[in-house]
Amino acid sequence: MLQIVSYPHPALRYVSRPVTEIDDGLRETVKSMFELLYAAKGIGLAANQVSLPFRFFILNLTADPAQTDKEQVFINPVITKRHLSIEDEEGCLSLPEIHVDVKRARKIKFQAYDLAGNLVEYEADELFSRAVQHESDHLDGRLIIDNLEPLILRETAPKLRELELTYQRAQASGELSSNEDIVKQLATMKRPSPDLVIEPTPG
């Protein structure tokens, strides 16, 4: 079973690898990710947020499971143009209860493969632009808590500390593997498929 991992899980700092094959395994994974996205009431989810070290993310800007026509999948995305900048509040499913202002490009151009294997070019602004930049950052191991101003960082620190303690407790109880094992598994995972989910190593 895939699940959304929270800060400070090492998958969130992992620079993801390109997807090399768009196959049924990937399509199944994407389906599971949409289920997780809706359950968490989010609008976007990157593969490394479910501990899969590959460059793709999903969006449904409506967050409405009934609007399947608004589901979008972006594989190996590359932002080719950034225009102007704008600051607005963002949250992240891997950073529960944390909301911070993040400066983003106002408009972007980007390209990505879709699930049918077509390379598509997009122009994005407003929420679409912000979401694509947020998810693209994930694929490079970046989070909204990076580059916070000192004052905001100080306000956020107790919540981050709480997440760190929860994570350490999960590792201590054997619910999660050690960071070393997780990173080893991320590095050796060959392709995104639902059966390739990191399980704690016994002992």
Active site residues: 135
By the rule CB under 5 A, 176 interacts with Zn ion: no
Handedness of CA 6, 79, 74, 140 (dihedral sign): negative
Q: Are the CB atoms for 106 and 83 separated by under 8 Å? A: yes
Per the listing, tokens 């054997």 go with 174
| Per-residue DSSP letter, 56 | E
Identity of the residue, 47 or 92, whose beta carbon is nearer to Zn ion in the bound complex: 92
Identity of the residue, 164 or 199, whose beta carbon is nearer to Zn ion in the bound complex: 164
| Per-residue DSSP letter, 176 | S
Closest-by-Cβ residue to Zn ion is: 92
Cα separation, 56 vs 137, whole angstroms: 11
For Zn ion, what does the binding mask look like between residues 69 and 108, x meaning CB under 5 A?
Answer: -----------------------x----------------
Identity of the residue, 92 or 176, whose beta carbon is nearer to Zn ion in the bound complex: 92
Structure tokens at 101: 């202002």
For Zn ion, what does the binding mask look like between residues 133 and 162, x meaning CB under 5 A?
Answer: ------------------------------
Residues that bind Zn ion (CB under 5 A): 92
